[in-house]
Amino acid sequence: MSDSSPGVADLLGVLAYAELTAFLRLAEDAARLAPTLTDRAALGDLAAAEYAHFRLLRDRLASLGADPEEAMAPFTGPLDAWHEQTAPGDWLEALVKAYVGTGIALDFYREAAAHVDEETRRLVEEVLADEGRSQFAVERVTVAIKEDPKLSGRLALWARRMVGEALSQGQHVAAVRPELAALLVSAEEEDIARMFAKLTEAHGRRMEALGLTPGP
């Protein structure tokens, strides 16, 4: 690669595969779980946005002299495993996963992007843009909970599972790709603590937006 920043190929590679799998999963959820054609179309729009992000990342990797497939390859196992372990059982679980589970995973990548070159950082911020995912999920989940308050407990447990699995996935990726891990934090303990505090706060805000209790 022409860019000498350690971990840039890993960051772009993991993001590219994350966006590709997000496109495929959202399209699948739209076809399999969406209760109305309007919901199916809305989720399909989000899936299309994820695919557009994937293409931007793929093209950026190629422009840096990296093979996109090789850059994505180390992350196929962990990301595929995460999706298999968090396959939603119904429409509301799919929305919570898209908002809470995917959200905390993308927070990790946003933290890493703070330590790369400006052009790459701008690209990462562009592909991490919400694209309406939050509003779409929050509106539908909050309406469902208002109609049936008993859903709150089940969805709160599901959301906590999303976060636990996402953190586990992140730890696994960091363990096998140390250059990517080095982008997340410095060696100073206070920086690590600050990063996890930011992730926890962001997760809490998402849970509150859905009307769910963050939990321990």
pTM, rounded to two decimals: 0.84
Residues 90-106 as b/e (b if ≥16 CB within 10 A, e otherwise) read ebbbbbbbbbbbbbbbb
List of domains in the chain: 8-210 (1.20.1260.10)
Amino acid at 196: F
Residue 2 pLDDT class (50, 70, 90 cuts):
very low
Instruction: Kindly compute the dihedral angle of the four CA atoms of residues 49, 80, 106, 8, in this order, to the nearest 10 degrees.
Output: -100
What pLDDT, in 10s, does the model give residues 10-65? 899 999 999 999 899 989 999 999 999 999 999 898 889 889 999 999 999 999 99
Instruction: Kindly compute the dihedral angle of the four CA atoms of residues 168, 171, 175, 181, in this order, to the nearest 10 degrees.
Output: 160
What pLDDT, in 10s, does the model give residues 133-178? 778 888 999 999 999 999 999 999 998 888 888 777 777 777 778 7
Residue 73 has pLDDT above 90, yes or no: yes
DSSP labels, 55-117: HHHHHHHHHTT--HHHHHGGGHHHHHHHHHHT--SSHHHHHHIIIIIHHHHHHHHHHHHTTS-
What pLDDT, in 10s, does the model give residues 181-210? 777 654 444 565 677 777 778 888 888 888
Computed on alpha carbons and rounded to an integer, the radius of gyration of the chain in Å comes to: 17
For residue 5, the model assigns a pLDDT of: 63
